[in-house]
Amino acid sequence: MPSYSLRSRIHDAPLIGTTIVSSSPTVVEALASTPFEALCIDLEHSATTIAQLEQLVRAADVHRTPAIVRVPEVGHYISRVLDAGAAGIIVPRIETAAQAAEVVERARYAPEGKRGSGPGRGAAYGASLASPDYSAATNASVLVTIQIESTAGVEAADEILTTPGLDAVIIGPGDLALSLGVPMGSEEHWAAVDRVLTSAAAHGVSSGAFCFTLPDVERYLASGSRLILAGGDLNWTIGGAMTEWHDIQALRSADEPVGTR
């Protein structure tokens, strides 16, 4: 199994990745061949199953691109996706220090946590478990990230981000805007974002965000963020199709009727 050592990697330089919503190993393998440095496979907002996930992680590994998995919630999915070979996790909707502590507990082997060992793909189907260094090496490598995306999470950021074993926090900008009741990108929205980023820096936790525009990427990088997830397979599929459609329409004469469905 490839070892990506994402915990140490994000301290050296920003990690620029993108998000996968589809359940297609072909899409994952194709995007893994691009210069993007990580793929975030989304189990929160997709129909992807655990069985499908293992195929997606395997497809990313073809090009030695780390797969970070956003699980649906705090719970048993954490160990299952790591057993499938994920290089890291993102856990959404964290609002308390107790939730953050449970995330770490489920993601780390003893003595740092309580993750159970099993003969999954991540442990080379059990072969790696024979090594006395396996649990320590895995704990040192796997990236544990939480997502703050609510008013309650922002208010509790200082408590949440003192959690031992937590590597990074990323902003869920859309849900944060909904929770605040303000437009995304508004002054109030950025104030809440900056509050989390400031807290992360104070507690030695890396920060980042899901980004939808290039100016957003620029702003987060300027703030010192280390985990940037820009665009994604669904965005690019629709965006590429619309660009091609408009380019084709521009070739038609002004008096020719425009095609519709």
Catalytic site residues? 45
Return the number of other C-beta atoms located less than 10 Å from residue 165's C-beta: 16
E strands, 26-110, in order:
38-42, 67-70, 88-91
What would the two tokens of residue 214 be? Answer: 């290039």
**CA-to-CA distance for 224 and 209, rounded, in angstroms?**
11
Helix axes 50-61, 25-32, angle to 10 degrees: 30
C-beta of residue 207 within 8 angstroms of C-beta of residue 201: yes
DSSP 118: -
> Which element (helix H / strand E) includes 16?
strand 15-20
What would the two tokens of residue 119 be? Answer: 């003969």
**CA-to-CA distance for 48 and 164, rounded, in angstroms?**
30
CA distances from 50 to 6, 32, 159, 172 (A): 22, 20, 32, 23
C-beta of residue 142 within 8 angstroms of C-beta of residue 165: no
CA atoms within 13 A on the CB side of 103: 33
